[in-house]
């Protein structure tokens, strides 16, 4: 009888330990992501090989890119004629690309892009509002990134109007309308062309957690203005491990990087 009791007690302990282990595993659901955002200035100041080498050296999980050309023939960048930036950068970095045209330009296209280490379950280019105050069409490129089997974050790359705050405020309102409906945690990164105290950032992005470090990002050779950002939503799901504005002069902007934990 005592032997049977001992065996039962052992089995009970084993079952409890297994259940506790599974619960602990479920509790340890934090995922760490390294995010990079970079306005490339259509490759005027660096080759695609140089840009790809920089991205590869940083080994990000997801990258938001702005001012990305596709098969253009700009007079200022003969070295980039006919090149598909997103596809070539993806090939050279081993990442998965998505491209969103914002306008036709110089015989090709000009727009925004995403590079990801992980599969993209869904990709959509959404135009942002263009009013009589705006200079040119802008957009947000949105991708659902499967960072772990069956688990996703929504990642967005955007580039807002550079001419006036009124246009940017309307565009930020559209960003919120689109992105805050996502079923998944969200990251949006890009060139917002607005300083941290601008209404479109201070009020328009108030629901978001700023995970970039707010150091000046432009112009790259003498940074004075913070206009490139990484934001996350919802605020309480994200923790900043590190954030850096990188002194790399391959464009007229400095890239911003954040290592973040998703709870």
Q: Single out the residue of 102, 183, 87 nearest to residue 141, CA to CA.
A: 102
CA dist., res. 37 & res. 127, Å (int): 20
Mean pLDDT within 82-91: 98
Mean pLDDT within 124-146: 96
**Single pTM value for the model:** 0.89
CA dist., res. 132 & res. 20, Å (int): 61
Average pLDDT, the chain: 91
Tokens of 262: 């998703």
| Domains of the chain by start residue, with CATH | 30-262 (3.60.10.10)
Task: Work out the number of other CB atoms within 10 angstroms of the CB of residue 27.
Answer: 8
What are the tens digits of pLDDT across the range 171-205? 999 999 999 999 999 999 999 999 999 999 999 99
Q: What angle do helix axes 85-93 and 48-58 make, rounded to 10 degrees?
A: 50
Contact 154, 187 (CB under 8 A): yes
CA dist., res. 231 & res. 221, Å (int): 25
Contact 115, 88 (CB under 8 A): no
Per-residue confidence (pLDDT) for residue 28, from 0 to 100: 52
């Amino acid at each position: 009888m005592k032997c049977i009791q001992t065996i039962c007690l052992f089995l009970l302990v084993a079952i409890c330990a297994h259940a506790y282990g599974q619960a602990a595993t479920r509790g340890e659901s934090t995922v760490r992501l390294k995010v990079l955002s970079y306005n490339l200035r259509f490759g005027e100041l660096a080759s695609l090989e140089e840009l790809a080498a920089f991205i590869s050296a940083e080994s990000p999980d997801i990258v938001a890119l702005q001012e990305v050309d596709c098969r253009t023939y700009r007079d200022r960048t003969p070295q980039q004629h006919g090149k598909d930036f997103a596809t070539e950068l993806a090939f050279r970095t081993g990442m998965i690309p998505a491209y969103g045209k914002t306008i036709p330009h110089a015989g090709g296209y000009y727009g925004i892009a995403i590079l990801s280490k992980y599969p993209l379950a869904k990709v959509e280019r959404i135009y942002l509002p263009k009013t009589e105050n705006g200079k040119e069409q802008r957009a947000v490129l949105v991708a659902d990134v499967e960072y772990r089997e069956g688990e996703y974050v929504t990642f967005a790359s955007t580039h807002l109007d550079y001419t006036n705050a009124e246009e940017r405020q309307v565009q930020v309102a559209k960003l919120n309308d689109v992105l805050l409906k996502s079923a998944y945690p969200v990251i949006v990164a890009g060139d917002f062309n607005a300083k941290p105290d601008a209404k479109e950032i201070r009020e328009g992005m108030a629901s978001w957690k700023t995970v970039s470090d707010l150091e000046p990002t432009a112009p790259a050779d003498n940074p004075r203005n913070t206009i490139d950002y990484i934001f996350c939503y919802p605020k309480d799901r994200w923790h900043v491990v590190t954030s850096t504005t990188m002194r790399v002069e391959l464009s007229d902007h400095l890239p911003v990087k954040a290592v973040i934990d998703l709870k």
